[in-house]
Amino acid sequence: MKDNAVTDALVDNIVSQVMAALRAQGVAAYAPARPVPPRLPAARDATAVKSSAPPQRAFLTAAALERRMAAEPGDGRVIELAANEFLTPAARDVVDERHLTVRRAPQALPSPASSSPNATVCEAARNPGPAAVGLVIERAGQTVTGVLTALKRDGLALVDYTQTDCWIANTRRLCEAVLAREVCLGVAILPYAADAMVLANKVRGIRAVQGSRPDGVAAAVRHFAPNLLVLEHTLNTYHEMRAMVRTFSAERPGEPRAKVLMEALAELERS
């Protein structure tokens, strides 16, 4: 304790001598800066528009989804999500396994000038029109976004029917739109094509073709005039998907060549 006291006294003496020398030379001694008081925001009118910054994304896990299903009234088949809520992969699996319908609160679409390059470029049209192509997209990445941007640049009218987080409900809605002639054709871009092929071809009047190669899609268009194209974006490249959609949506003169096949399909649909 005595040694510490002596050391402190020596340090204080040295500091005092240094400060005195600085003052003698006209150099201002260091002093901590006085804290600047925080600047208060200017008063705003109560009717001023709130900040338009989008809310942070919130991810709903499988466990949180289970709790919400138990807490919400009703039959538990419909899940309501806020505009900024998204399902984790495990929660999506729960939705698929239980065939749930996920609805999202409406969100204002950004203007073209403010849209980010990765934003979905196929906006839902209020009056689709028979010349448009309906779309269903599941778990799209940058490749799919690039394909849609290129197709829109090519002048193809695209209508997004991805209205829920359940690809089954979305695909059925797209099939209904094709049969009702809301759109002329439908395109489903999914991670796995086989599931959507089984579902779509069970809908009376839908003739779905899986896109694996552009020449295969062209042959299907000639043979039986499919009205739904299913693409598997985990296997198809950007150029393949773009070429297949363009081939599928091109003008189709004449009747399908496979008349025997068309007669067999018509007989099956009548039975």
Give pLDDT tens digits for 90-129. 888 888 888 888 776 544 433 333 333 333 444 444 445 5
Residues 184 and 74 in one domain: no
Q: Given the DSSP bridges, would you call strands 101-104 and 133-137 parallel, antiparallel or unpaired? A: unpaired
HSE-CB at 138 with a 13 A cutoff on CA atoms is: 26
Range of the domain at 139: 115-270
Residues 82 and 203 in one domain: no
Tell me the pLDDT tens digit for each residue of 200-236: 999 989 999 999 889 999 999 998 889 999 999 988 8
The answer to the question of residue 98 being in a domain is: yes
In what helix (H) or strand (E) does residue 133 lie, and over which residues does it extend? strand 133-137
**pLDDT at res. 206:** 92
Which of 195, 193, 200 lies closest to 216, judged by CA? Answer: 193
Q: Verify that 84 and 155 share a domain, yes or no.
A: no
Please say which residue of 108, 126, 143 terminates a domain. Answer: 108
Say if 264 falls within a structural domain.
yes
In a shared domain, residues 230 and 164: yes
Q: Do the domain assignments include residue 205? A: yes
Return the SS3 of 189.
strand
Q: Is residue 214 part of a domain?
A: yes
**Residue 261: other Cβ atoms inside 10 A:** 13
> Considering the entire predicted model, what is its pTM?
0.53
Q: Count of residues for the chain?
A: 271
Say if residue 142 is in the same domain as residue 239.
yes
pLDDT in tens, 154-195: 889 999 999 888 999 999 999 999 999 999 999 999 998 999
CATH number at residue 183: 3.40.1400.10
The C-alpha atoms of residue 15 and residue 18 are separated, in whole angstroms, by: 5
Q: At what angle do helices 193-200 and 167-179 cross, to 10 degrees?
A: 50
Q: Which two tokens stand for residue 87?
A: 């399902």
What distance in Å separates the CA atoms of residue 129 and residue 131, rounded to the nearest whole number?
6
Q: Are residues 258 and 150 in the same domain?
A: yes
Question: Are the beta carbons of 177 and 228 closer than 8 angstroms?
Answer: no
Residue 121: per-residue pLDDT: 40
Q: Comparing C-alpha atoms, which of 180, 222, 225, 229 is closest to residue 200?
A: 229
From the CA atom positions of the chain, what is the Rg in Å? 32
* 209 and 79 co-located in one domain: no
Residues 182 and 124 in one domain: yes
Nearest to 182 by CA among 137, 130, 229, 222: 130
Cβ-proximal residues to 120 (8 Å cutoff; 6+ apart), any chain: 137, 140, 145, 148, 160
Pair (69, 138) in one structural domain? no
Does residue 188 share a domain with residue 89? no
Distance separating alpha carbons of residues 102 and 169, to the nearest angstrom: 9
Domain count, the chain: 2
Cβ atoms of 224 and 256 closer than 8 Å: yes
Nearest to 188 by CA among 127, 149, 144: 144
